[in-house]
Structure formats: C-alpha cells, structure tokens
Amino acid sequence: MEKTVKLEERLTLWYDELKGENFPLVGKKNANLGEMLKAGIPISPGFAITIHANDLFVRESGIKDAMEKLIADECREMNEKNIARLSGFAMAAIEKASLPDYLEKQILDDYHQLCERCGVKDLPVAVRSSGAVSMPGQMETYLNIRGDRDLVDYIRKCWASSYCVEALTYRINREMGALFNIGVGIPKMVNSRVSGVIFTINPLNGDPSKISIDASYGLGEAVVSGLVTPDTYLIDKVTLDTVKFTRGSKEIECVYKPASSDIIEREVDEERRRANSLSPEELRQLCIVSKQIEKYYGKAYDIEFGIDADLEFPDNIIILQVRPESVWNKKKAEKKKSEQPTDAMSMILKQLVTGVRVK
Amino acid sequence: MAKQFTDPHEVPKIEGTEGWEKMYPYYYQFSTDDKERCEYESGQLWYYDGLHYPEPHCPFDLIWDEAWYLALSQYNSRIFMVPPAKGIDHRIVNGYVYITPIGIADPKEIEARIPLFMKRAGYYYQNWDKIYDDWVKKTKLLIEELENIEFKPLPEMEDESVVFEHRGMGSGYELGVKYDQLINLGFKVWQYHFEMLNLGYAAYVTFINTANQFFPDIPMATLTKMVSGIDVVMYRPDAELIKLAKLALELKLDDDLAATTSFEALKARLETSQAGRKWLATFEEARYPWFWISTGTGWFHHDKSWNDDLDVPLASIKMHIDSLKAGKDPSRPTEKLIAERDRIVEEYLGLFSNDDDRKAFEEALNISRKVFPYVENHLFYVEHWFHSVFWNKMRELSAVLVAGGMIKDVEDIWYLNRFDIKVLIDDMVRAWATGIVPAGRNKWPAEIEWRKGVMDKFREWTPPPALGVPPEVVTEPFSIVLWGVTTDVLKKWLSGLESATGEVTQLQGSPGSSGTVEGKARVIKKVEDLAALEPGEILVAPTTSPSWAPAFTKIAGCITDVGGPMCHAAIVCREYGLPTVVGTGTGTSVIKTGDLIRIDGDSGLVELL
C-alpha cells in the first residue's frame, strides 16, 4: 500500500481531494470547491495551500513569536492605534519573509503540475484567501497571477491580508485572537472561449422541466451585462432535447488584455457570429451539470459557466458561480393549494367542458 | 386580416364539372332550398379535412367518410352524452370533404348531460382493458365475416344445389344481398372504430393539457414518449420483415434474394431447395394478417397492401438484409425504449414540488396509458386489415360487373357511389334473369368517363382550408386534437387568404419529432419509389405507413403532407431521433426533389433555402 501522509499534515491539497468537512484544514471556500466537485459540479482545476502550511510559515520564519512578543509587550490593549501597529508589523514581516524551502517546493511542484495539465507555461491562476471562519470580503483575492516568482509573492500577500486592519479589528471584536492562519486557493484562471448563464427552469414561465441557457463568446461580462445578444437555448431537462433555439448576433466578446487582468472588448468576426457558440456535446454536458447542481441544492439555480479554451472537453466545462434562482422559487413557496381535481374522470370531464387549447 | 372565409354557398364552380353533385349523396351538399339549413351552414366554420384526405374523393371512396360521419357523431351526441359536444357535420365541395363540429351552447343542457356522461364514459374507463380485449375479438370476427363474402360471376345456369337443396333463392338476388352485407360490414367496423376512440382521445387530450399546465414548454414528442406503448401492433408487420431478413441470412438465401427483383421469380427459385421452401413457408405465415398493412393510410382504394403486391415487402426485406450485413440491427430496441420511457416519466414526476399536482399529473398519465393501446392499435385492425380486405372484395364485385357488361374495367367501380352500385346491380341481375341486355349498359361507362374528367379537374383545384365564419375561440376538443384546428391556426389561415400567392419559401406543419436538420429533399409519393432514396436526404412524403420502415435508417429527416404528432412517421422518427414535421398540407407539391430545405421538428417549420 502506498504510504500516505495524513491530511492534517499536508501542505497542499488538490480540490478533488477535499470534502466540505475539511474546512478546518483549508478554509471554507476551498473546502466548498471540493464539495462541489464531489457533487459532480466541475470547477476550475487547482489546489489549496493548507492552514497548516500557513502555520509552519509563520512559526519557522519567527513571525509568530515576534507577533506574540509585540502583543505581550506593547499592545496589550487592542485599541485602534495598536491594531494599526500590529497590522503594519505583521503584513510587512509576512511579505518580506521567505517560505520554508520544502513548502515553496511543494507549492511550485503543484503549480507546475497544474501548468502541465492545462498545457500552458506560467499558467495564469487566481490566489484566493480562504478562512476556516467566514469573514466576508476582508481578505484579498488576486487574479491573473503567472509564473513561480509572482505566485509565491502573491501567496505571501494573501497571507498578509488576514492581518489587514479590517480583518484584525473584526477578529478582536469577536474575541477570535489576533493570530489567524488561513488557507489559500490556487485555481486556474478560467480562460473562457465561451461563457454564459444557465437557469435550471424556464425563467419566463417557471416551467421546471426546462433548462434555459444563454451563451456567447469570451468572458462572462458580455452576457451578464447584456452587451451582446447571446445564443439562447431552451432544453428539455429530462430528454435533453432542444425545445427552442435562437441564434444570437454575438457581435462583441470580452477578453483579458494580454498579460493583465484588465478586460477589453473586441469584435467577433462574421463567421463566428453565424456559428453556434456551443457544440452539441458541450450543450449536453452543461445540461447534465446543471441538473446535478439543481439536484445537489434541491431547488432551481442560476449558474454562470465558462468553456475553457485551455482544456479538453469535457474538462473545459467550468462552473464559475451558482446561486438560487429567486423569482420562481419564491412563487413556488407562496403557491396556494391548487383547486383542480386529481381524479381521472373529473379531470377528463373538466377538460371536455372547458376545452383548453392544445399547442 | 379577413374576418371570415368564403361562404360555403359561394364557392366558385369549376368549369366543366357542372352537375358533379350527383356523384355524392344529396345530404353531403350545401343546401340551396332550405332556408333554415342555409342559415345554419353559413354561420358555421367548415374546415377542409386534409388530415385524412389529401386528395378529392372518388365517389365510392366517400364510404369511409360516411362511416365516421355517423359513428363519431353518434358516440359523442347520443351514446356517451359528451357534455358540450354533439356530432361533427360533413359536406362535400368539388370532391373535398369539409367538416364542422357541433357544440352545445346552453349551459343547462351541458349541466344535465354531465351525470350521464360520468356514468356512461366512466363505465368504459373503468373496464377499459376488458372492453378492449372484447373489441379485438369481435373485430377479428367481423373481418372473418368479410373474408367469407365471395362475389362470383352470374352463372349461365344455376347449380343443381339450388334445386336439390331447395335453397329457394338465386344468384341474382344473392348478389344484391352480398353487396349490402359488404357495405354494412364496412359501416359496422366503423361503429366499432369509434366505440373507444373518442374516449381514448379525451383521456389523451386531458393528459396533454394537464402536462402543459405544469410544464408549459413540454414538447409534444416528450408527451407521446411517456404514453406510447412499446408492444404496438402497428410495428408488427415490419418486425415480421426483420425476422424474414434474419432467417434469409441464417439459411444463406441472401444471394437468392439479391438476384431476384420480383417475388414471383424468387418464389420459383426458392421452391427448388429445402432451405428455400422453409423460408417461403415462414413468409406465407407472416402474410396473414400482417401483410394486410397498407402502403398508404388505407382510406383510398388505391392504397395497396403488401399482400396486394409482394414485391413491396420483398424490397423492404432486402433493405433489412443490407442493414444487418452492415452490422446495424433494424429491430426496435424494445428494452431500451421501455427503460427510456420509464426514466422520462420518473424524472418528470421528480420535478413536482407539490403532491397534489404530482397526483393529478400521474392520474392523467395513467389513464392516458390505459387508453393508448387502443388509440394506437385500432388503426391496424380497421384502416389496414379490414380496409385492405374490403377493397379487394370490391374489386371481386367489380369483376362481376365487368363480366355482366355494366362497366368496362375493374378499376372503374370507384367512380360510382354506393347507391349507384346498388341500382346498377339491380339493373344487371334483372337483365340477367330476363335474358336481355341491361338498361344501363351504355349509361354507366359514359357516366364513368365523364366522372373521370371531373375528378381530374377536382385534383387541380386547391381547396381553401376553411369556409364560413370562425368562432371566437375553438374549444371543441376533438377538432383540436385530431385536426389541430385552434384559434391560432384559424388566424394563420385567415391571414394566408390575404397574402399574395407568390413563391413559397416556407411551410408550417406540426412538430413531429424534435431537432433541426438541413439537407436535400427527396419527394417520394409511393412506397415503390423508396429505392431512389439516397442516404442523408430528407424524405418528403404524402404520409408514411409501417411499410416505409426501411427508409428511416437512411434519411436525415422527414416531412409529411398529412398527419399529427401521433401519426406513423412522427412515432417512428422519434424513435430514430430524426427531426420531423408532419401535416404540412402541401409538402409534396411545393417541394421538389433536390431542393435544399431546413426543417425544425420543434416548431413545425419547413424552410426552402
């Protein structure tokens, strides 16, 4: 049997090794991504740097001791001034310190493996903070980070961000302690060739047996902000047949400016405008994934997706964001008991007497 | 948009057809001298029954229209007391049949009919399976009775048995009796036809509308997948051919089959070997009743059955052999179809969040499934088996009339209506008995020639889709499900009246099977011409029947002139996953072989590119 290191002692963990319950090891955001994968929801490939790794870093670099000493000697009372002082000290120390060699090696090994898997050298990734306790929006996320040196720099910046004044104040007010290690997520930046929005119902009439998909070229911004008329599909959720398709004009696409996280708009050429943005198998796969998302959460969902140009089908289908659909879920909850008969004879009689139109 | 269609009394006459009315019964004419009837007729909406009749009626062929005119109407109005519906009235204009549903307007009368309907229809729904079993038995008996009718030329001298068995009647009398018996059996089988069909459709429409209420975008194709039977009688003829194809391969007779083009030649060849005789015996066994399947809808005298032309099933067997050799099994994947149907139903049931709604949907689905074997299978017994045998019996009778010097050709009989034939027989047998020439022997051949000319002119005429005044909203359930006549369709027809007749670039039909496809059209009007079909083409046909089955493994899509979502072409194409539009009305006349067309099986639109 292969010798395995206990999860608790790992420095990094791939998303597909994670479960929701592992949040104490990698933070909530990372653990949730692992859970989504388990539920069959494809997310951008990547790995998590564990909280344990952050702990080793602050211990072995002496930052932990230095902070504890600073708190004991000079900042016993956590007022605004002392918090600012502590924050300044910690952030500067973290951003300057070297990572232990074994840790840096492990992170870079994993990064290189990810680059290889995607077939892209210096693969652009995101560096996302992930705390074991939710602290919404208080720590940093960095987009489009490329290359070994930047990656390590931004991981340090990310760790440092858990000591920004806001985060420190938040923790001290809740008596969570000043010292706080976090997990970091390193997902591939989704290089969307096509992206779009899915509803696991028909948002126009609430039909729960349909999946509605809007898709257009480039990053999701073009579809979400209504810059273009996308291709729209209405799919039967059960048979996966296309019930309705309208080809959009798709004149513009949003892409990243080379070597930057700035987004630019550019024109789509005539031939691509006239083509369907999704291939039949991509369409089918998106439907299967959407059904899994709906099943997993138990209600209609609104989903953002990207088709990644760097990955092969079906790995190129990436779910970017999910949230419950708001309008029809609410209506369903408010719906009164229906007054229609539920026995066959009365239904047939009602049918004959009222004579409803058939499409 | 125009508000109404042409008044039924003001349809322009076609030059050279004056006097055509005598070709059909007087009660099929729009009235001229009865003010009350004229007013009623002008106030109704009459629509052309293109679903059943893509062509004008030869006088005799009107018999099936007469049959259902009586049968459907009486089951609605007088037997089951369907609360808001009386019968469906029929007229004929220039050879084309127009129909109009008669509703009940008075809410009190509707109310009074409800308990009667619940009791009577309820009995049928409750005992459906048993009644259906009995139905099959009695219909088979009826067909046996039909097969036993024999028409023989009138003898020079009666057989001795007439004397020594003292039968007390002669062939002249018996001919008239047998003719009456033949016609009455035809009407009887149509009484049976509607015994369960109206209720079957009512249950099915209820399911469609219940499903639409919960899932507004549910495709018709998905609904039919949920209710369709797997073991459908209509698939049996083709299954027999596949069996014969497999047997031919097993007995290594495929080269013999490939080397012969006619069944007669093949038979002669195969009779010389033991394996050949074994195959021929299996073939013979399959013929009764399965080869009574019609190559058309069975509604017209020219719809041949396989038994009438064994070269047709033989060509299909050869196509199946080719498929089998290419490694494709043409058999229906029954188990897969059942599993898929069950999965679809289960997943749909899983979409409900409310138990009452789910229960309503399930109830409607269950009753729909209960009635469906009848809805699907009655076609084989009546329109195919009975009709095919019936047409042949009529030809037997016609040969007697030809022998008696009354008409010139066996195929001339279709130009006489059922009353004409009765009179003609009476004339003939009296002349035969007396030993003189019949009074009508010059009259009828001349009349038939004239009628042939009239029929040609009828065929050139395009019947307007409707006549009279459209109602505000169409609510009559049978017109909706059977003919697809809805408020929207009427609007389309009305707007079509105003648009100039230019080049046609699109046709609207009903969605038959989901999907979109672009390709070259191949117009095929008769099953015999199927060999011309190239792989990947879109088949454009008047209608299809199970004898067209081998085509479906070759084509990319299908369009038919007549038929709704439940017609043969639609059902088969759904199984093969081929985009299909049915009931375009004019597909085979507007589209030409080689035209590039796009069909959308979800919206029912056909575009000529």
A296: which 2 tokens?
């997993």
Q: Averaged over B515-533, what is the pLDDT?
A: 85
pLDDT > 90: percent of chain B? 60
| Residues B118-170: tens digit of each pLDDT | 999 999 999 999 999 999 999 999 999 999 999 999 999 999 999 999 999 99
Domain A192-334: CATH superfamily, name plus number: ATP-grasp fold, B domain (3.30.470.20)
Nearest CA in chain B to A331: B353
pLDDT category, B473, cuts 50, 70, 90?
low
In a domain, B452, yes or no: no
B31, B178: one domain: no
Sequence-separated (6 or more) residues with CB below 8 Å from residue A68: A179
In a domain, B437, yes or no: no
Give the torsion through C-alpha atoms of B301, B303, B307, B313, to 10 deg: 170
Nearest Cα to Cα of residue A183 among A326, A54, A341? A54
Q: Would you call B244 exposed, middle or buried from its count of C-beta atoms within 10 A (0-12, 13-18, 19+)?
A: buried
CB contact under 8 A, B217 and A353: no
The Cα-based distances of B75 to A201, B71, B234, B477 in angstroms read: 42, 6, 25, 14
The whole-chain average pLDDT of chain B stands at 89
In a domain, B65, yes or no: yes
| A150/A24 Cα distance (integer angstroms) | 27
* Residue B480 pLDDT: 64
Q: Is A210 an interface residue toward B (CB < 8 Å)? A: yes
Q: How far is C-alpha B199 from the chain's CA centre? A: 19
Q: How distant is the Cα of A299 from the closest Cα of chain B, in angstroms?
A: 10
pLDDT category, B503, cuts 50, 70, 90?
low
B125: which 2 tokens?
């729904």
Partners of A234 in the β-ladder = A212, A244
B143, B179: one domain: yes
For residue B354, which residues of chain A lie inside 8 Å, CB to CB?
335, 337-338
Look at the domain A7-187 and name its fold: Dna Ligase; domain 1 (3.30.1490)
CB contact under 8 A, A359 and B83: no
| Residues B265-305: tens digit of each pLDDT | 999 999 999 999 999 999 999 999 999 998 888 899 998 89
Nearest CA in chain B to A210: B217
Return residues 320-339 of A near B (CB < 8 Å).
332, 335, 337-338
Q: How distant is the Cα of A80 from the closest Cα of chain B, in angstroms?
A: 52
Scanning A119-147, the segments in alpha helix (DSSP H) are none
Interface test with A, best of B207, B218, B341, B479 (most A CBs within 10 A): B218
* Residue A224 pLDDT: 75
Nearest CA in chain B to A346: B118
| A134/A23 Cα distance (integer angstroms) | 11
B222, B363: one domain: yes
CB contact under 8 A, B210 and A341: no
B153, B100: one domain: no
pLDDT category, B500, cuts 50, 70, 90?
very low
CB contact under 8 A, B202 and A236: no
* Residue B129 pLDDT: 95
Nearest Cα to Cα of residue B424 among B16, B27, B60? B60
For residue B347, which residues of chain A lie inside 8 Å, CB to CB?
237-238
Identical fold for domains A7-187 and A192-334, yes or no, is: no
Residue for token digits 């902070």? A67
| B538/B365 Cα distance (integer angstroms) | 33
| B553/B578 Cα distance (integer angstroms) | 10
Sequence-separated (6 or more) residues with CB below 8 Å from residue A60: A100
* Residue B329 pLDDT: 85
Nearest Cα to Cα of residue B226 among B574, B583, B579? B574
* Residue B567 pLDDT: 64
B17, B110: one domain: yes
The Cα-based distances of A161 to A98, A158, B578 in angstroms read: 17, 5, 58
CATH number at residue B516: 3.50.30.10
B196, B277: one domain: no
Residue for token digits 């043409």? B330
ipTM score of complex? 0.77
**Residue-number span of the structural domain to which B470 is assigned:** 8-118+459-493
Nearest CA in chain A to B487: A357
| B498/B496 Cα distance (integer angstroms) | 5
Q: How many residues does chain A have?
A: 359
The Cα-based distances of B593 to A16, A125, B505, B587, B608 in angstroms read: 56, 56, 15, 11, 12
B284, B185: one domain: no
Return residues 212-241 of A near B (CB < 8 Å).
234, 236-239, 241
**How far is the first Cα of chain B from the last one, in angstroms, to the nearest whole number?**
28
**Structural domain spans, chain A:** 7-187, 192-334
Interface test with A, best of B120, B196, B209 (most A CBs within 10 A): B209
| A22/A131 Cα distance (integer angstroms) | 12
Interface test with A, best of B120, B199, B215, B518 (most A CBs within 10 A): B215
In a domain, B508, yes or no: yes
pLDDT category, B499, cuts 50, 70, 90?
very low
CB contact under 8 A, B212 and A205: no
pLDDT category, B498, cuts 50, 70, 90?
very low
Q: Averaged over B198-212, what is the pLDDT?
A: 88
In a domain, B246, yes or no: yes
Q: How distant is the Cα of A208 from the closest Cα of chain B, in angstroms?
A: 6
Helix/strand/coil percentages in chain B, nearest 5: 60, 10, 30
B188, B39: one domain: no
DSSP letters, A301-356, are EEEEEEEETTS-TTTTEEEEEEEE--HHHHHHHHPPPP-S--SHHHHHHHHHHH--
Q: How many residues does chain B have?
A: 609
Q: How distant is the Cα of B604 from the closest Cα of chain A, in angstroms?
A: 11
* Residue B584 pLDDT: 79
Residue for token digits 């932990």? A64
In a domain, B396, yes or no: yes
* CB B100 within 8 Å of CB B483: no
Residue for token digits 């109704």? B44
DSSP letters, A63-122, are HHHHHHHHHHHH-SS--HHHHHHHHHHHHHHHHHSPPPHHHHHHHHHHHHHHHHHHT-TT
For residue B214, which residues of chain A lie inside 8 Å, CB to CB?
207-209
The Cα-based distances of A249 to A228, A246, A254, B516 in angstroms read: 7, 10, 15, 19
- Comparing A81-85, B194-198, B525-529, B540-544, the range with the smallest average pLDDT is B525-529
| B195/B190 Cα distance (integer angstroms) | 8
Degrees (nearest 5) of the Cα angle B490, B495, B501?
A: 125
| Residue B375 one-letter amino acid | V
CB contact under 8 A, A347 and B210: yes
Return residues 253-292 of A near B (CB < 8 Å).
none
B114, B200: one domain: no
| A178/A196 Cα distance (integer angstroms) | 41
Residues of chain A with pLDDT under 50: 1-2, 356-359
| B169/B433 Cα distance (integer angstroms) | 12
CB contact under 8 A, B212 and A344: no
pLDDT above 70 for B476: no
Task: Write the residue in A337, A349, A359 that is nearest to B356 by C-beta.
Answer: A337
Task: Write the residue in A238, A354, A359 that is nearest to B347 by C-beta.
Answer: A238
pLDDT category, B28, cuts 50, 70, 90?
very high
DSSP letters, B553-590, are GT-SEEEESS--TTSHHHHHHHHHT--EEE--SSHHHH
* CB B44 within 8 Å of CB B4: no
Nearest CA in chain A to B82: A352
The DSSP H or E segment spanning A48 is strand A46-49
* Residue B563 pLDDT: 67
Q: Averaged over B429-434, what is the pLDDT?
A: 97
CB contact under 8 A, B84 and A355: yes
Nearest CA in chain B to A345: B122
| B391/B301 Cα distance (integer angstroms) | 6
Domain count, chain B: 4
Please count the CA atoms within 13 angstroms of the CA of B608 that sit on its side-chain side.
18
| B424/B441 Cα distance (integer angstroms) | 9
B470, B323: one domain: no
Nearest Cα to Cα of residue A236 among A209, A207, A213, A254? A209
